């Protein structure tokens, strides 16, 4: 079988897609994978904040379009880039084993940042949580691939920047100073550290869907499903500072902690619930947070 994998053209996106290709070819030696790359508008317009371009989903729609148009068989994404609800015509076929979901502070440890220090991040979620813990901090916008961001840290006004720990691991980058922020300090973005593989809905029950489903890691899928249910309940394309992190115990119990904050970090609410159904756990946490803490 010849399988075309659609992906963004960035080094991290290519690494993730090559990882999926390796898993597929290991599972089924007869499979030969080909990468089909696209440079998204979000990759091209680094001068504009993500929320102005289109918010959550801006990194995936052009990749998904390749699959829907028949130019590729599956799409490979960072799960954190997906909206809470799967696009019409597509199915989430697999979530391989998740990597480290945490955020990493690069350039300085949080406790070592001087009063008023600037931190570079384009994420409202990260800004709100850092502002809640350190109201003295200031923030500067940061866009671009991992290498670009690290260069800007060296040349720019920021004392530190925030990025996904999994990105550092996957690209083999070891900054001189890095602090991985535990979920108790900074709750991750929905799906962070996970890879999502989509196919056309009509292919989900066929050979393509069966092949891709073989590389699924069940606990990772349950955790991502619970987190995406949290996001979907908030609106699917939520632009509020929100985060969620789910874990799955050996007995199948899913525990999710969700966060909802104001943009300035003055209001920050967290809630943890457990259960056996990903949709019920994630959606329930979002509803409770929204009722108790209407921040928008």
What is the side-by-side strand order in the sheet with 2-8?
Answer: 32-38, 2-8, 74-78, 195-200, 90-94
The Cα–Cα gap between 19 and 94 comes to 13
User: E strands, 175-225, where?
Assistant: 178-181, 195-200
Task: At 92, list the tokens.
Answer: 């989430």
The Cα–Cα gap between 120 and 146 comes to 13
Q: How many residues does the chain have?
A: 296
Nearest to 221, CA basis, from 123, 124, 131, 98: 98
The Cα–Cα gap between 181 and 119 comes to 14
The Cα–Cα gap between 166 and 186 comes to 15
Between the alpha carbon of residue 291 and those of residues 71, 187, 202, 239, 294, the distances in Å are: 44, 20, 38, 18, 6
Catalytically annotated residue among 43, 47, 73, 81 = 81
DSSP string, 56-101: TTTTTHHHHHHHHTTS-SEEEEEGGGS-SSPPTTEEEEE-------
Query: Cβ–Cβ contacts within 10 Å for residue 44, how many?
Result: 10
What φ, ψ does residue 273 adopt, rounded to 5°?
Answer: -140, 160
Q: Active site includes 88?
A: no
**Which residues are designated catalytic?**
81
């Amino acid at each position: 079988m010849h399988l075309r994998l659609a992906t963004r053209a960035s080094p991290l996106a290519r690494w993730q897609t090559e990882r999926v290709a390796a898993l597929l070819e290991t599972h089924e030696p007869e499979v030969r994978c080909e990468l089909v790359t696209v440079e998204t508008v979000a990759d091209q317009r680094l001068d504009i904040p993500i929320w102005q371009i289109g918010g959550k989903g801006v990194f995936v729609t052009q990749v998904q379009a390749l699959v829907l148009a028949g130019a590729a068989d599956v799409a490979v994404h960072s799960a954190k880039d997906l909206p809470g609800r799967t696009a019409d015509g597509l199915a989430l076929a697999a979530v391989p084993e998740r990597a480290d979901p945490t955020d990493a502070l690069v350039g300085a440890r949080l406790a070592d940042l001087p009063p008023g220090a600037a931190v570079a991040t384009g994420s409202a979620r990260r800004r709100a949580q850092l502002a809640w813990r350190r109201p003295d901090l200031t923030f500067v916008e940061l866009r671009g691939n991992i290498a670009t961001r690290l260069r800007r840290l060296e040349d720019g006004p920021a004392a530190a920047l925030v990025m996904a720990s999994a990105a550092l691991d996957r690209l083999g980058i070891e900054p001189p100073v890095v602090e991985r922020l535990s979920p108790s300090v900074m709750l991750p973005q929905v799906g962070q550290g996970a890879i999502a593989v989509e196919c056309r809905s009509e292919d989900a029950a066929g050979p393509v869907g069966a092949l891709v489903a073989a590389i699924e890691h069940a606990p990772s899928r349950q955790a991502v499903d619970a987190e995406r249910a949290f996001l979907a309940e908030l609106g699917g394309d939520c632009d509020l500072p929100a985060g969620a992190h789910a874990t799955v115990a050996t007995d199948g119990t899913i525990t999710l902690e969700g966060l909802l904050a104001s943009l300035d970090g003055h209001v920050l609410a967290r809630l943890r619930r457990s259960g056996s159904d990903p949709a019920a756990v994630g959606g329930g946490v979002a509803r409770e947070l929204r009722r108790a803490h209407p921040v928008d």
